[in-house]
Structure 1
């Protein structure tokens, strides 16, 4: 395609992504599934399709998506649930890859164990994008959100490492489980070390992060630096990205400036939105190429291969979750440190929901498309991976929200609001205590006046939080109770800010205020409005 055609395609794709996001918000349907369907429809239209370049996806798309997901995750929550996260993101991925490999070597004519393991590694890692988007909207409990996030962050590294080992076995003397295990451990450990090194370099640059532009620049290059460092020393670049993101995200409240955090968060939301939309559109467009490559295989061989792939993916996950929950509770001890103790067992409804949160996505196709022409049954492997993506992304993605509602799984909104208001009250009390210290340290009457003004503002805010806490304590359900006074106060404050904004526009339009002055004053109002609390 020409430059103009490429630009037109990108513009149309962005327009579709925005439209689908709007539709998703109105209907509750996952945008990932809707974009994939549109990609399939587009692929069947006359004209040229856009191919999925695996190296481009693995180098330029996966690192920023994983890094942003890591920034939004909780290092402490993942650590508290680390055994379950490791069980799903490492052991289950290994089991899936091995089981698919055995199935192919036993029942698919001419297939090798190494080729089957390569397919198993590609289809093993769930892509949590669709499940998390639906789960958050449906109010999925926080412990399940943490498990889905943690699994999605770490399983890609496991899968790509296994894939590398399997491809090396295809090119060499065959698949050796002890050798593969050793290579996996070395790659994973090296990825962790690389991620920690990059995170500490970013921490050392914290003096530059006071400037929002510098902070954004550092944040945007960090995932690529971590990935390239890992890959350059032949360890897991994906795991390096995840570890760096978790550490930097954990440190951000301490080292980043307020302006830097606000701007960086906005930039990453935009990057995430565009990249995710593009990759799901591209997934659908690969269908014709994958189907056209199957002319050398009989329907029976294709059916057996697809049945093994889809069957292992859909059946092993719930079986694994049930079996791991039946283990003795002493095996579910958390690691030491804050929050040490036994991990809470999942109940039957949570096991069902987590079993159905196994949608596969772009990492599966990017991984399987990296296989070279010398890999036995490469075309069949790609078709099986594509079918697994479609079955899980469309089947599980479109039914996950109704399942969550049917199971009655919801986060206790009143408890979450109570936790946040208790933290708000504690932070305001700490500010009041600090004012007392400041008063004792100085004797300037001017500063006394400033302290008293600030004290009155903080005491009003503290009283508001305490009234809110009293209301939340009296809540009889898990819903956030309504407070007419609280709602009215928020409404009035929004209206006052809007009146100020309209007056500034009248000044600008009358020529009494420059556009530069308008932007400065409008930014002040925007920040003031952003600071207004929501109903939580």
Structure 2
């Protein structure tokens, strides 16, 4: 099958899987994974394999960059200790537990550690889908964990692979040095590339060039880090955090909107395509097993799944007591999570495309020419682990969330309203000076003041019977609906004028561009209000 036919097949799978998920109100990764498995039954696709470098060099940097860009640096800083422990100690513990279980079931220590490293990190894309439904603090911890833990897992993976190939000899100093070099070097690479690109972007006004450099930034940071044999994952994450922090000050609104629109589309498409390709590889892994080893392979996969879940639950329910014994500050006690939120975090340990890419990257042969031991078993078990976490754990998450009793997080909404009120107050106070500076007429100034006064009144007071939030939401909903209806009516009118020959097609397009921009803005305003 040609590459074009594969692209079309994956595109159709993404279209059908995403559409079905929307109708069935299911998590898209689940149906996309199933769609990929079903594609594997097409004879022409049976020999198609996902190149590991496609994930590690093309998909992963951009996805991690954008997840980091959209993350809250304030929340990451306030939960840094928990995130650091989740993305380092928990990853090492998970890899060790999986390696011990696999070795007990017949795998050599080298391949067992390779398997452990492959399945240890959680997946940023799968966690990102779930994170939209969670309170901000928990979502931030899960997202940040999945952004950083790939770096830890890939160091373990490199060590385990080197030992198995006879190219690496372990010692405490060697392991500590590799971890330090990987983390510090990755951070340095991300900072260096981002600094250079920001110097360019701050001088640009063309939104297209901003979008191009937004794509180049994570790829360049990752490539530099990998060339220096340090963590490309951390390079992409640091880059995304930095650009996300300075973007409001350095770039124009048009550039930010253009980049965000395009990056949202590209990352959503890449996420969906990755899950389809993982499903395709999972089906291929089953076919790659020897018929006599299927039962044993399923036993190993079941044991590994059990270990992953047990280690994660064990860590999240024991580490708080260790932290409590070491840190008894009042502010630390206030931030402790109860048992049910910790159970929710424990159940959110999804695996995804990075694990599959690591498994597929295992070489076929040793330097001696012999086959790499248990390579097909590593791929098979990794595929089963991904499938179990996405097909079994993900559908259970809404029930776990209800059981955990986590209500809607109203803190972001409170902060949003506060920011709008304060910014409007300051703007109204500055309005006479701004109008005088721009030479704006009194009628225009009074009209803008009236609009801002109305919005402030709705935000502050609301309706006595429904409360400020409900009244503001109801007002904004009615306003947006009426405004959209007016825009549709105007559009129908100019189209009819074009059809009647009163205006030219070029004139229609110019008017339509303005109406479309207004419609997009108002629809986004309505949708944002509906989500609050």
The TM-score with structure 1 as length reference comes to 0.88
Matched with 1:165 is 159
Matched with 2:369 is none
Report matched runs for 1:149-188 at 5 Å.
149-171=143-165, 172-188=167-183
Q: Is the 8 A contact 1:306 1:387 kept in 2?
A: yes
With 21-30 and 229-238 compared, the bigger mean Cα shift is at 21-30
Distance 1:207 1:521, change over 3 A: farther
Report matched runs for 1:4-403 at 5 Å.
6-49=3-46, 50-105=48-103, 107-109=104-106, 111-112=108-109, 114-136=110-132, 139-171=133-165, 172-295=167-290, 298=293, 301-329=296-324, 331=326, 344-373=335-364, 374=366, 375-403=372-400
Aligned mates of 2:283, 2:473 — CA distance in 1: 56
Aligned mates of 1:94, 1:473 — CA distance in 2: 55
Aligned mates of 2:107, 2:8 — CA distance in 1: 45
Matched residue of 2:439: which SS? helix
Unaligned runs of 5+ in 2: 367-371
Unaligned runs of 5+ in 1: 335-339
Aligned mates of 2:521, 2:417 — CA distance in 1: 15
Matched residue of 1:210: which SS? coil
Distance 1:430 1:178, change over 3 A: same
The CA RMSD over aligned residues, in Å, is 2.8
Q: Is the 8 A contact 1:418 1:472 kept in 2?
A: no
Q: Is the 8 A contact 2:421 2:459 kept in 1?
A: no
Matched with 2:422 is 426
Matched with 1:337 is none
Q: Is the 8 A contact 2:424 2:456 kept in 1?
A: no
* Offset of residue 235 of structure 1: 0.8
- 1:364-395 deviations in whole A, cap 9, x for unaligned? 00011111122432222222211111111111
- 1:66-119 deviations in whole A, cap 9, x for unaligned? 1121121122221111111111112211111122223334x133512x322221
Matched with 1:449 is 441
Q: Is the 8 A contact 2:194 2:242 kept in 1?
A: yes
Distance 1:135 1:200, change over 3 A: closer
* Offset of residue 473 of structure 1: 9.5
Aligned mates of 2:180, 2:240 — CA distance in 1: 21
Matched residue of 1:125: which SS? coil
- 1:126-158 deviations in whole A, cap 9, x for unaligned? 11433432442xx32111111121112111122
Matched residue of 1:471: which SS? coil
* Offset of residue 217 of structure 1: 0.8
Matched residue of 1:181: which SS? helix
Distance 1:229 1:472, change over 3 A: farther
Q: Is the 8 A contact 2:91 2:149 kept in 1?
A: yes
Aligned mates of 2:261, 2:414 — CA distance in 1: 27
* Offset of residue 306 of structure 1: 2.3
